[in-house]
């Protein structure tokens, strides 16, 4: 039976209420009004009794008759799942929530864990940075259902339509679809039977072959059924050497390139197939011919037909270009793996549309449209494939001449069908949709509305939603006309040329997407880049005058690296490329518009085509001033954080976010920061002893002598080394012996971009290195903190809890400060339970890598008195440094006394979707959601000019 609905306390309703998309520019900074706020709600350390109602009363009150005029649509967002892709699923769900939630559409969130248990969760919990973080808090913050059938009954009563955002098993294999079908719950996407056939790569390959498409020859390996003689015979059939023939080995039912590896020869292929099975990734594996010389592509297809009359339109496909790295394994360079899909990597670049002949692109789009229809897919999907410009011996032309995919320029093959495409901020769905006029919100809402139109019972509901959307839009337009106000221009600048530029791109993209949802703002993303681009020598001139700024159209922002954004800008300025892209865009839009315009709910395209514009840095500042704009600075390190940009903007009278030039310059220099607060000892603020050395001198000197000097001066056995002026964990490492110092200095001398994991004597992750090397290095005692671990869940059902010895009283924290100069407010500090290593890597900090964030530190570890003393010390420090707007302070805290030991101050902290600042804002009372948090920072920029 369904779980009973219990009344929700007012405090919990506020904490779990979904965000609103638009607030007036004059709104005061909600959630940060007091410098000494009441303590925010804590995260339980041992699991408390689960909350029995996660859906707020306000949302339940919206459960009216479907035909009622102006009723919001109720969407159930379901994420998670049992596959290794659940981390991507959480990111996708968070992105979907950000872009569809509004006054006319109410989202309730649900999660399926790895054990196939269903939970109702709060929107706030989706901002957890990792699956581990999410799962730990799940036990105390979510409402569990007794069974999946109870969950389905709940959905049938409480939502109008379900949007499954589960990648891989249970999400794309027909599992959740079958559950919803049995409960007669409408949902977005393809029915269960069609999912089962399309998701299994082997079944899909057989179906493609039956339907007359070219396919990649493959061999199926099932658990405990590997017959090596048959595999040898297959190698011979496809003209591959049994000793070293190159193949791809991959699970038949997994996505995100998880488990996909390259193998050479029969023995290697058999071994890797068995490893995939033994690791539990899948019990069926296919071995495919490696398409040497081919180029991978991917394309989104959306259905724009009426009711169940399918009318698929394929958007602009994307070419995936893999670029070899001279310093890495060449075998690893040959596949588009998980890391290259989801983390910044200079070894991959995307081109939308592909740089293929027009006939090939037409073939791709036509083929995907046919596949969509013949496989019975619904609403939207993503289909991947390969273009082979030259014949492959395993695809004999005589046998395949009549197959679909043959062109005079080469062969087109379709390989993977993704029923629930990734929906992270920069995913292919949004890259391709934005290229033909859809914003994130508009494409997602179009998919949802189309799904609604397929269910007769939802037609009145969809009409009510459409009526409400129009009413709200008209009301806002009338209000704007009445007030005679125009939109406030905002420029978000990110990028730069430091090793932190990829995090900066992620931060800037996140800020831009959150702010562009406000009706009263006109937000332009901007890339700060070296004048000669990112592809010239590392020794180029990095002076202020050598930098340029590109104002970017919507679609060009959605890339993984600054290099890729820059290349897209250059490419978009080439007349030939512009002509090709324009023609293809028009072709796609001409396919979309006639069909979509037949639907009453379609609100039109909302992204206009624009070309990027290049300015010198000074020209850009002049342009910003003439526009009467405010600048949101998201450039980490370099001139974004050392006071340079702040000085230029201040001289021009342009308001900007964050601290001013003096505070920025001071905090950029870790030694100067320590000197600036050393007089605050009586206020509970201490600093770490430092030894500063010129990098050039370190590289020339005897490393054994340097090590002995450091040990003696700093009175420590292990040393923490870091660049004097870089942040985001760039170049930060723990050194335990002279050999570690040698490895580190060799990396600087050789200008390595990163240190591989575990190359030092203590276990650690990948360490991003500053390139070019910093002018000086800081050596500090490595502060030992007690390890915090998460206990395993016991068989008797006891909840997981924190295990902490508490022997030395020190913990590492990070804490955001927000407010006006002299009135800075400390958010609740966060501690991170690391999963490996002594120092958080760049990925662990910003890319949803590993670790569990606890905000604030649990009461069993740090008392409330110590917490409040810590926050007061942080505020005193922030005000003494002259901080304003917002910053992030990293420190060690004594859990008994609340005394703070300063590590560093970041005046342009990370603002990625998984940053701890988001967690801390959500821990405020009431919680401050990301869009409101960034709006608050923008409003503070205006305040400084008054």
Report the pLDDT value the prediction gives residue 36, as an integer from 0 to 100: 37
d(CA 159, CA 151): 12
**Please, are residues 526 and 633 in contact by the beta-carbon 8 Å criterion?**
no
- Confidence band (pLDDT; 50, 70, 90) for 308? confident
52-56, 301-305, 360-364, 465-469: least confidently modelled range: 52-56
Compute the Cα dihedral for 904, 910, 916, 922 and give only its sign.
positive
If you average pLDDT over each of 29-38, 120-129, 184-193, 600-609, which comes out highest?
184-193
Least confident range of 470-484, 682-696, 720-734, 870-884: 470-484
Burial of 410 (0-12, 13-18, 19+ CB in 10 A): buried
CATH architecture of the domain 69-187 equals 3-Layer(aba) Sandwich (3.40)
| Residue 145 to residue 38: CA distance in whole angstroms | 33
Average the pLDDT over each of 121-125, 498-502, 839-843 and give the range with the smallest value. 839-843
- pLDDT above 50 for 196: yes
Nearest CA-CA partner of 106 in 68, 62, 142, 67: 62
Residue 616: is it exposed, middle or buried by C-beta count within 10 angstroms (0-12/13-18/19+)?
A: middle
Q: At what angle do helices 201-210 and 192-199 cross, to 10 degrees?
A: 90
pLDDT band at 324 (very low <50, low <70, confident <90, very high): low
**What top-level class would CATH report for the domain 691-781?**
alpha beta
Percent of the chain with pLDDT over 90: 59
Specify the pLDDT at position 483.
64
- Rounded mean pLDDT, 171-186: 96
pTM for the full predicted model: 0.85
pLDDT of residue 476: 74
Distance CA 499, CA 768 (A): 7
The DSSP annotation for 771-782 comes to: SSPPSEEEEEEP
Give which of 678, 699, 698 is closest to 688, Cα–Cα: 678
Average pLDDT over the chain reads: 84
CB contact at 8 A, 228 and 419: no
Mean pLDDT of 772-785: 87
Residues contacting 848, CB < 8 A, separation 6+: 87, 90, 91, 129, 130, 913, 914
Q: What is the pLDDT of residues 421-475, one digit of tens each?
A: 999 999 999 999 999 999 999 999 999 999 999 999 898 888 888 888 888 877 7
Q: Which of the residue ranges 13-22, 139-148, 533-542 has the most confident prediction, judged by mean pLDDT?
A: 139-148
CATH fold of 197-324+332-427 reads D-amino Acid Aminotransferase; Chain A, domain 1 (3.30.470)
Check residue 127 and give its pLDDT: 86
Count the helix, strand and coil residues of the chain and give each as a percent rounded to the nearest 5.
35, 20, 40
User: What pLDDT score was predicted for residue 482?
Assistant: 63
What is the per-residue burial (b if ≥16 Cβ within 10 Å, else e) of 574-609?
A: eeeeeeebeebbebbbebbbebbeebebbbebebeb
Least confident of 212-216, 257-261, 870-874: 257-261
Query: What pLDDT score was predicted for residue 832?
Result: 75
What is the CA 637 to chain-centroid distance, rounded? 21
Distance, in Å, from the CA atom of 349 to the CA atom of 344, rounded to the nearest integer, reads 10
Query: Of the candidates 513, 316, 323, which has an alpha carbon nearest to the alpha carbon of residue 431?
Result: 316
As a whole number of angstroms, the distance between CA 593 and CA 583 comes to: 15
Band the pLDDT of 307: cuts 50, 70, 90.
confident
Q: Evaluate whether 895 touches 827 at the Cβ level (below 8 Å).
A: no
Please give the average per-residue pLDDT across 596-606, as a whole number.
Answer: 92
User: Which has the higher per-residue pLDDT, 160 or 130?
Assistant: 160
Is the per-residue pLDDT at 647 higher than 90?
A: yes
Instruction: Inform me whether the pLDDT recorded for 32 exceeds 70.
Output: no
Query: Over the stretch 816-842, which tens digit does the pLDDT of each residue have?
Result: 999 999 999 999 999 877 654 444 444
Q: What DSSP character marks residue 456?
A: G
Which region among 67-76, 347-356, 888-897 has the lowest average model confidence (pLDDT)? 67-76
Q: Please give the share of the chain, as a percent, with pLDDT higher than 70.
A: 82
pLDDT computed for residue 805 by the predictor = 72
**Which residues in the chain are classed under CATH 3.30.1490?**
691-781
Give the pLDDT confidence score for residue 774 in this predicted structure: 86
Which tokens sit at 245? 């023939």
pLDDT at 794: 52
Q: Where in the chain is the domain with CATH 3.30.470.20?
A: 197-324+332-427, 668-687+786-907
- Position 806 scores a pLDDT of 72
Its CATH architecture, for the domain 668-687+786-907, is 2-Layer Sandwich (3.30)
Query: Taken in order 200, 201, 203, 208, is the CA torsion positive or negative?
Result: positive
pLDDT value of position 869: 97
């Amino acid at each position: 039976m369904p779980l009973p609905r219990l009344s929700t306390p007012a405090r919990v309703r506020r904490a779990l209420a979904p965000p609103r998309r638009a607030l007036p520019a004059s709104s005061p900074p909600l959630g940060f009004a007091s410098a000494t706020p009441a303590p925010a709600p804590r995260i339980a350390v041992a699991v408390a009794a689960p909350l029995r109602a996660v859906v707020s009363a306000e949302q339940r009150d919206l459960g009216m008759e479907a035909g009622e005029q102006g009723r919001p649509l109720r969407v159930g967002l379901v994420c998670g799942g049992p596959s290794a892709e659940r981390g991507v699923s959480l990111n996708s769900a968070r992105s979907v929530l950000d872009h569809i939630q509004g006054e006319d559409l109410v989202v309730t969130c649900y999660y399926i864990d790895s054990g196939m248990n269903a939970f109702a969760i709060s929107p706030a919990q989706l901002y957890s940075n990792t699956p581990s973080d999410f799962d730990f808090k799940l036990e105390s913050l979510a409402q569990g259902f007794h069974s999946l059938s109870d969950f389905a009954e709940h959905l049938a009563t409480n939502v109008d339509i379900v949007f499954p955002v589960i990648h891989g098993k249970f999400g794309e294999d027909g599992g959740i679809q079958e559950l919803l079908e049995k409960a007669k719950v409408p949902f977005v996407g393809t029915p269960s039977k069609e999912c089962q056939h399309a998701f299994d790569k082997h079944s899909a390959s057989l179906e493609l072959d039956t339907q007359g498409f070219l396919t990649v020859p493959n061999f199926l390996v099932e658990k405990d059924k590997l017959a090596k003689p048959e595999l040898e015979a297959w190698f011979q059939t496809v003209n591959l050497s049994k000793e070293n023939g190159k193949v791809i080995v991959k699970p038949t039912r997994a996505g995100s390139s998880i488990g996909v590896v390259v193998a050479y020869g029969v023995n290697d292929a058999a071994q890797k197939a068995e490893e995939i099975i033994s690791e539990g990734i899948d019990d069926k594996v296919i071995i495919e011919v490696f398409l040497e010389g081919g180029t991978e592509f991917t394309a989104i297809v959306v259905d724009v037909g009426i009711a169940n009359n399918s009318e698929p339109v394929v958007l602009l496909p994307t070419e995936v270009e893999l670029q070899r790295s001279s310093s890495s394994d060449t075998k690893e360079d040959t596949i588009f793996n998980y890391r290259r899909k989801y983390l910044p990597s200079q070894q991959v670049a995307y081109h939308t549309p592909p740089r293929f002949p027009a006939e090939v692109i037409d073939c791709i789009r036509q083929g995907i449209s046919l596949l969509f229809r013949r496989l019975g897919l619904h609403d939207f999907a993503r289909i991947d494939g390969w273009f082979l410009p030259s014949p492959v011996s395993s695809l004999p032309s005589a046998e395949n001449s009549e197959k679909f995919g043959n062109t005079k320029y080469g062969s087109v093959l379709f390989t993977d069908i993704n029923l629930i495409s990734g929906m992270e901020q920069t995913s292919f769905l949004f890259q391709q949709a934005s290229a033909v006029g859809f914003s994130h919100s508009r494409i997602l809402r179009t998919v949802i509305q189309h799904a609604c139109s397929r269910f007769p019972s939802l037609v009145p509901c969809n009409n009510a939603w459409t009526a409400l959307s129009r009413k709200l839009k008209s009301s806002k337009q009338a209000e704007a006309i009445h007030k005679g106000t125009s939109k406030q221009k905002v420029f978000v600048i990110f990028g730069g040329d430091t090793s932190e530029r990829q995090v900066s791109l992620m931060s800037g993209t996140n800020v831009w997407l959150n702010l562009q949802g406000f009706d009263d703002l006109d937000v332009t993303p901007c890339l700060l880049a070296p004048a000669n681009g990112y592809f010239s020598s590392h020794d180029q001139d990095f002076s202020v005058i050598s930098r340029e700024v590109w104002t970017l159209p919507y679609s060009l922002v959605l890339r993984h690296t600054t290099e890729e954004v820059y290349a897209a800008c250059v490419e978009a300025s080439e007349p030939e490329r512009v002509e090709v892209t324009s023609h293809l865009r028009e072709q796609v839009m001409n396919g979309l518009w006639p069909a979509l315009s037949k639907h009453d709910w379609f609100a039109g395209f909302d992204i206009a085509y624009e070309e990027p514009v290049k300015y010198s840095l000074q020209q850009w500042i002049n342009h910003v001033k003439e526009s009467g704009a405010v600048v949101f600075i998201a450039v980490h390190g370099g001139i974004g954080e050392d006071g340079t940009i702040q000085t230029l903007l201040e001289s021009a009278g342009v308001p900007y976010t964050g601290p001013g030039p003096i505070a920025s310059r001071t905090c950029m220099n870790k030694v100067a920061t320590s000197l600036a607060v050393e007089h605050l000892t009586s206020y509970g603020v201490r600093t770490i002893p430092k030894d500063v050395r010129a990098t050039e001198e370190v590289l020339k000197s005897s490393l054994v002598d340097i090590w002995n000097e450091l040990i003696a001066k700093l009175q420590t056995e292990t040393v923490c080394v870091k660049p004097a002026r870089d942040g985001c964990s760039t170049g930060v490492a723990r050194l335990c012996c002279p050999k570690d110092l040698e490895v580190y200095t060799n990396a600087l001398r050789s200008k390595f971009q990163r240190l591989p994991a575990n190359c030092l004597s203590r276990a650690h992750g990948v360490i991003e290195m500053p390139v070019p090397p910093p002018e000086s290095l800081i050596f500090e005692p490595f502060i030992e903190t007690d390890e915090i671990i998460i206990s395993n869940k016991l068989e008797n059902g006891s909840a997981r809890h924190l295990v902490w010895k508490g022997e030395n009283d020190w913990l590492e924290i990070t804490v955001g400060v927000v407010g006006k100069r002299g009135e800075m407010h400390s958010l609740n500090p966060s501690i991170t339970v690391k999963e490996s290593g002594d120092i958080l890597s760049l990925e662990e900090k910003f890319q949803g890598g590993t670790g569990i964030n606890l905000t604030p530190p649990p009461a069993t570890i740090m008392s409330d008195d110590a917490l409040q003393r810590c926050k007061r010390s942080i505020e005193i420090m922030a005000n003494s440094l002259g901080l304003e707007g917002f910053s992030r302070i990293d420190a060690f805290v004594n859990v008994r006394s609340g005394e703070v030991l300063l590590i560093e101050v970041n005046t342009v902290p990370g603002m990625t979707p998984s940053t701890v600042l988001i967690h801390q804002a959500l821990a405020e009372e009431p919680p401050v959601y990301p869009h409101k948090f960034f709006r608050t920072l923008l409003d503070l920029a205006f305040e400084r000019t008054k």
